[in-house]
Amino acid sequence: MLLKKTTDILASEITDKAIYEERRKFMTSSAGLAAVASLLPLRDSIAGYGGKPLSSTKNTQFDIADTLTSYDKITNYNNFYEFGTDKYSPAKNAQALTTDPWSVEISGEVEKPGMLHMEDILKQHAIEERIYRLRCVERWSMVIPWLGFPLAKLIKQARPTSKAKYVQFETLYRPGEMNGQKRRVLDWPYIEGLRIDEAMNPLTILAVGLYGEVLPKQNGAPLRLVVPWKYGFKSIKSIVKIHFTDKEPVSSWTKSAPNEYGFYSNVNPEVDHPRWSQRKERRIGDFLKRDTLLFNGYAEQVAHLYTGMDLKKYF
């Protein structure tokens, strides 16, 4: 198994939110539109560009006051081992991925199995913007304005049977385009799972975009899971299979290193990674570290899911 230790990132390397907002204002002005039009061919070649805007409504139910991480950092500092084990390779290598057409297979303990085409998924589900924290087990975090819809809506559409206790997700396996899959860093394809009540929680979404645009390929296009109270590696990317089962799925990282990556993967500062403490984190763009919050700050919404569980044992 290869794990790279994250290096500290200086605040000077991050695009300030105020600068980003001024840039957006300029781009919507007449002068800005003319300038952007002249640069569209160039921008299309930039790894961070999502491709096109997505219509959405803002969901403020779970809003947080944290400063947003810059678009540049969100789209150029990524964990996506299918495109490389360092943080910067995915932004370059993921551009080889074909995301259209795209289908997701629904299978297992459901009344309505079958194939869902991405265009139909987008038509059937209203897209929301939700600002969520993303906490990585490597002690860094981001605040991202995701575009997506509640996973619960897709689950209800599939009509799980009474036997469905867990939901298993699988990433695309296509070594010809996902060059990292040519190396046995993990047992491909990537597998993740949730207990069905976790999957049905209102916080859990399937993301299709960020910052108002279609999801960039290095961020998990065209469809990825976002579970904001769990560590980021739980948010499986480029999903092609959703399987309902009565057995707890063995996720790829748990299979690779069971003493380091438990099934639940809840953010818990009291549970150290074997090689470092989880009590502190550094928000990308900040100089100083901050305290890690239980359930990544979402305890009010999710703590009831784990009543009576020993969260040090079931990590």
pLDDT of residue 31: 43
pLDDT of residue 227: 98
pLDDT of residue 43: 34
Q: pTM of this prediction?
A: 0.85
Q: Would the CA dihedral through 236, 226, 260, 88 be positive or negative?
A: positive
Q: Compute the half-sphere exposure of residue 267: CA atoms within 13 Å on the CB side of its CA.
A: 30
Return the CATH superfamily for domain 46-306.
Oxidoreductase, molybdopterin-binding domain (3.90.420.10)
Distances (CA, A) of 57 to 200, 209, 221, 305: 21, 13, 20, 28
- Say which residue the tokens 């990317």 belong to: 237
pLDDT of residue 52: 86
pLDDT of residue 116: 98
pLDDT of residue 41: 33
pLDDT of residue 146: 98
d(CA 118, CA 222): 8
Per-residue pLDDT of the chain (315 residues; tens, 9 = 90+): 344 443 444 333 344 444 344 444 444 444 443 433 333 333 333 344 456 899 999 999 998 999 999 999 999 999 999 999 999 999 999 999 999 999 999 999 999 999 999 999 999 999 999 999 999 999 999 999 999 999 999 999 999 999 999 999 999 999 999 999 999 999 999 999 999 999 999 999 999 999 999 999 999 999 999 999 999 999 999 999 999 999 999 999 999 999 999 999 999 999 999 999 999 999 998 999 999 999 999 999 999 999 999 999 999
Bridge partners (DSSP) listed for residue 92 = none
